[in-house]
Each structure stands twice: as structure tokens, then as C-alpha cells.
Amino acid sequence: GSCFWVAVLDGNVVGIVAARGNEEDNTVELRRMSVDSNYRGKGIAKALGRKVLEFAVLNNYSSVVLGTTAVKMAAHKLYESLGFKHVGVVEHYALPGMTRSLLERMFFQLRYHRYRLQLWEE
């Protein structure tokens, strides 16, 4: 139920993405998508995202979900261009490992955006 893909260009790893299936709710979570900053804007992230969607369809998952703390609008536009719908925001999100200390609360006011792409109704 899980997979990991690597984008390679001229012998260099330029991007990665992972997908983790959840049998309980029949979803796939798109995780850890990243493209080297020197190769952004070339369609690599979109190709990686499509690979996750293909994986979900081939394995009969009903939807694909993702969460992101990305502040760059380009990331959000990418998800929407792939068909994802913005379904919510968690304010003051704490990253795994954060202690929620006074300093962290002062400097890390993260917003966690949730997206979903419904492939088919169950």
C-alpha cells in the first residue's frame, strides 16, 4: 500500500514523492513531495504528483489526500492543478518533534492546509 518515486535527470536526483495507503478509509496520502530548487518550474512536481494519482487508481483507492505547511502559493496551485480541492486549515500547527515552547510559539505560526482529490465514490 505504499510506494516511493525518485525523479532523475542527467544522472542526478531532482525530485521525490511518497504515497502511503490507508486501507481503513481507502485513501492514499501523498507525502514528502520535493523538487530540487534548481529544477523547479519544469513540470517535475506535476509528473511526480501524477505518478501518485496513477498509483491510487491502479490500486483502487477512492481518494488521495495530502497536508502541507507550504507557504509558497506555487505549491498550492500545483495541488489544485492536479485536481485536489482545499478542504481545511489547521491554525498554529505543531510539526512533529516541536515542544510548543514559548520561542516556538513566537516564531513558528504554521498553517497546515489539507487537500483531497476524490477519485470515485464508495
- Domain ranges in the chain are 2-118
- Whether 49 has a pLDDT exceeding 80, the answer reads yes
- Identify each DSSP E strand in the chain by its residue range: 2-9, 12-22, 27-35, 63-68, 85-93, 110-118
85 band by pLDDT with thresholds 50, 70 and 90:
very high
Residues 6+ apart with CB under 8 A from 112: 67, 68, 69, 89, 90, 93
CATH of domain 2-118: 3.40.630.30
3-state SS assignment for residue 23: coil
Mean pLDDT of 9-27: 96
The answer, as to whether pTM is greater than 0.95, is: no
Residues 99, 105: Cα–Cα separation, whole Å: 9
Residue 53: what are its φ and ψ, rounded to 5°? -65, -40
Tell me the pLDDT of the chain averaged across its residues: 89
